[in-house]
Amino acid sequence: MGECGCLVSELGGEKQLIAAANFIIKALGSDITISDDAKKVLADLCTELSLVVSRNQRADVVEIEVEGTEIGEVEEIESRLKVVQEKIMVWEADQSMIWDSAAPDDASEYLNAADEARELVSKLEGLCLSKDEGDFELSRKAHDVLQTAMARLEEEFRHLLARSSLEFQLESVSVHSTEDAVDDGSTHLYRDESFEASVRSSSVGRNLENSIIDLVNPDAVCELMGIANVMFKSGYDQECIQAYNHLRRDALNECLLTLEMEKMSIEDVLKMDWVTLNSKIRKWNRAMKRFVRVYLPSEKCLCDQIFGEEGSVSLTCFVESSKASMLQFLNFGEAMAIGPHTPEKLNRILEMYEVVEELLSDIDALYCDEVGYHVRIEYHDVQKSLGHSVRATFLEFGKAIAANTSPHPFAGGGIHHLTKYVMNYLMILTDYSESLNFLLKDGEDMYPISPSCSMNSSREREEESESRGSCSGEFSPMARHFRSVATILENNLEEKSKQYKDAALQQFFLMNNIHYMAQKVRGSELSQIFGEDWIRKHYGKFQQQAMNYERASWNSILSYLREDPGSNSESKNVLKERLRSFNVAFEEIYKTQTSWIIHDSRLREDLRISTSLRVIHAYRAFFGRCNNHVSDKLIKYSPDDLEGYLLDLFEGSPKSLPNTNRR
């Protein structure tokens, strides 16, 4: 046995077994005595050998059976493949589209044939076929049939999707908006008097509801879904997705043209004149609402219908097909945000900001997960950029007011264009209170007062400082900034008033403009922003300026009518000289102040009454004294005449009194 052990150890596997068996047979052939233990070992060995032989025999039988089964299945597959191939190739010879066929069953039969080709390829791949030429040829043939069917289905999918796509109709969705009338294309800080008649705009389409519309004929959606299902199961999902995305991108481009959104680069937008740009912004606001609230949800719904709501395929298709169009919108928004921060753009940029803010949740829902991350981030970035632009433009608005200068005094002492523009503009901005309060809350010191625009006096500086300090806890960020803008305007008006050489006209100009400011605030939503204390203060201001005007205009003239306090009687010559001096001075005031203008009828009437009370009262007393000492020929005007002439003042049309020759 030692020799046997050495032999076995030197050999391995089946060779070991054969060597050991030969050794045992040789040993048994010699004349040896076998003990009981040896007999038992040999008996066990016989048993083991029997089991091994039995197992090998069964395996041989199974192998024969499997080979028989596979041969049978291959024959069946080959037979079925032949039928499928005939069905597929019939349409390859036909140039017409299957889904355009008049026979209702043609499309379903072809789809079933394509799906069966997929099943046959799958079965062939599951069989352990031999590597002989016949089996290889059958497998290649099955794949060729499947590939031919998939190429045809891709073509049919494209054709059916293109044929069934519906044109996006603007009238399918109504967006309510009002357009303001401040669209004269001016790039100046203030506009002409027609600005006062402007109509304030509101945010575009605030109440637009989400709605789904049919972008593809509903009858075709099920057919498209069936084609996509077979292509996906056959491993041709990318071809189907690419076909879908290509066609839907084209459809989205058509939608943008319908919405009047032409493709423009940021450089194109920055070069655009304001009149054109203003129109583009209004179109962008309307189009953005329709696109995000109607078209994109409808596109997402179409993707879900064709590719199924489960999984990321539908979302991926939606994002890929709509991304370029969405970024086209965002490029315009970004261009507006980085463009020059001129004041006339402020309300338009605010409109854009509010539209973007309002649609933020819609975008987050449409472009969710990692698939939509890029579009979502771009959208949020544009929102932030527009917000920064609003703050910067508001700052430039204040700076532009402070820097506005005129080479000549404003004719007639009326309401300056700058005053009208600023106050009307603030009224427009009240439509955006919520946004402005959010965007301006961190800009407490946006408007430092320029040294060149000082207040009337140190006392007024103190009052303004107290007002700004006290209102910091009482007023909204928007209110604080509006008050700052109003202060800058008042400072500018103060500087402009100094261009008049006539002290009376200085006060007249300030009275007109401060009155206009106070009236605009009191008669609008600005009253809630500025507060009652501001209104009271500015009513007091223009009333004081009216008194200052009267003093500067009439005190020196009325001095001719006063009786000398130290004399009991006035000589005839003194009365004549005073009367003559009064007439000259009054005629000069009449000629001058009929060219001055007060647009507000009530303010004009109040100032006439106040002036008349002072002048006519003094003149009546003087007239009574003259009756006893001066000839009627020397008295040119009666008190009633003067009262009538005073009604001609402040009409903005210079006049001269009749018969001005001195006697």
Query: Using a CB cutoff of 8 Å and minimum separation of 24, what contacts does 320-324 make?
Result: 320/241, 320/245, 321/244, 321/245, 321/248, 321/249, 321/252, 322/248, 322/252, 322/296, 323/374, 323/375, 324/249, 324/252
Instruction: Answer for the pair 513, 416: CB distance below 8 angstroms, yes or no.
Output: yes
Q: Give the sign of the dihedral formed by CA 265, CA 266, CA 271, CA 275.
A: positive
- pLDDT tens by residue, 202-224: 333 333 455 789 999 999 999 99
**CA 131 to CA 187: how far, in whole Å?**
82
- pLDDT tens by residue, 363-404: 999 999 899 999 999 999 999 999 999 999 999 999 999 999
pLDDT computed for residue 140 by the predictor: 85
- Rounded mean pLDDT of 421-447? 84
pLDDT computed for residue 67 by the predictor: 47
- pLDDT tens by residue, 127-182: 755 455 556 688 788 888 899 989 999 999 999 999 998 887 655 554 433 343 33
- DSSP code per residue over 406-455: -SSPPGGG---HHHHHHHHHHHHHGGGHHHHHHHTTT-TTS-PPPTTS--
User: Which amino acid, one-letter code, is at 67?
Assistant: E
Is the model more confident about 6 or about 266? 266
Instruction: Answer for the pair 352, 285: CB distance below 8 angstroms, yes or no.
Output: yes
Q: Rounded to the nearest 5 degrees, what angle is found at the Cα of 122, between the Cα atoms of 119 and 124?
A: 110
**CA 365 to CA 344: how far, in whole Å?**
34
- Rounded mean pLDDT of 542-570? 84
- Rounded mean pLDDT of 625-649? 82
User: Which amino acid, one-letter code, is at 270?
Assistant: L
Mean pLDDT for all residues in the chain: 81
**CA 272 to CA 254: how far, in whole Å?**
24
Instruction: Supply 384's token pair.
Output: 């932030």
Structure confidence at residue 191 as a pLDDT band (50, 70, 90): very low
- pLDDT tens by residue, 304-345: 999 986 668 999 999 999 999 999 999 999 999 998 898 888
**CA 401 to CA 520: how far, in whole Å?**
18
- DSSP code per residue over 281-339: HHHHHHHHHHIIIIIHHHHHHHHHHHH-SSSSHHHHHHHHHHHHHHHHHHHHHHHHHHS
Superfamily (CATH) of domain 235-403: Exocyst complex component Exo70 (1.20.1280.170)
Instruction: Supply 498's token pair.
Output: 């100094």
- Rounded mean pLDDT of 52-78? 56
- Which residues, listed in sequence order, are joined to residue 597 by a DSSP beta bridge? 651
- Rounded mean pLDDT of 654-659? 79
pLDDT computed for residue 316 by the predictor: 92
- Rounded mean pLDDT of 342-355? 92
Report the range of poorest mean pLDDT among 298-312, 431-445, 483-497: 431-445
Three-state DSSP string of 600-637: CHHHHHHHHHHHHHHHHHHHHHHHHHHHCCCCHHHCCC
User: Above pLDDT 90, what percent of the chain?
Assistant: 52
Report the range of poorest mean pLDDT among 170-179, 436-445, 588-597: 170-179
How many Cα atoms occupy the beta-carbon half-sphere of 621 within 13 Å? 12
This prediction has a pTM of 0.73
Asked if domains 235-403 and 561-662 share a fold, the reply is yes
User: Above pLDDT 70, what percent of the chain?
Assistant: 74
Contacts of 424 (CB under 8 A, 6+ apart): 195, 196, 198, 520
pLDDT computed for residue 333 by the predictor: 94
Domain residue spans of the chain: 73-164, 235-403, 410-443+476-557, 561-662
How many Cα atoms occupy the beta-carbon half-sphere of 32 within 13 Å? 11
Q: Smallest Cα–Cα separation from 428: which of 524, 538, 533, 528?
A: 524
pLDDT computed for residue 94 by the predictor: 76
- Of the ranges 62-66, 95-99, 428-432, the best mean pLDDT one: 428-432
For tokens 């320029």, what's the residue?
Answer: 450
Indicate whether 185 pLDDT > 80. Answer: no
Is the model more confident about 77 or about 406? 406
Instruction: Answer for the pair 89, 143: CB distance below 8 angstroms, yes or no.
Output: no
- Give domain 561-662's CATH architecture: Up-down Bundle (1.20)
Contacts of 636 (CB under 8 A, 6+ apart): 583, 659, 663
Instruction: Answer for the pair 597, 651: CB distance below 8 angstroms, yes or no.
Output: yes
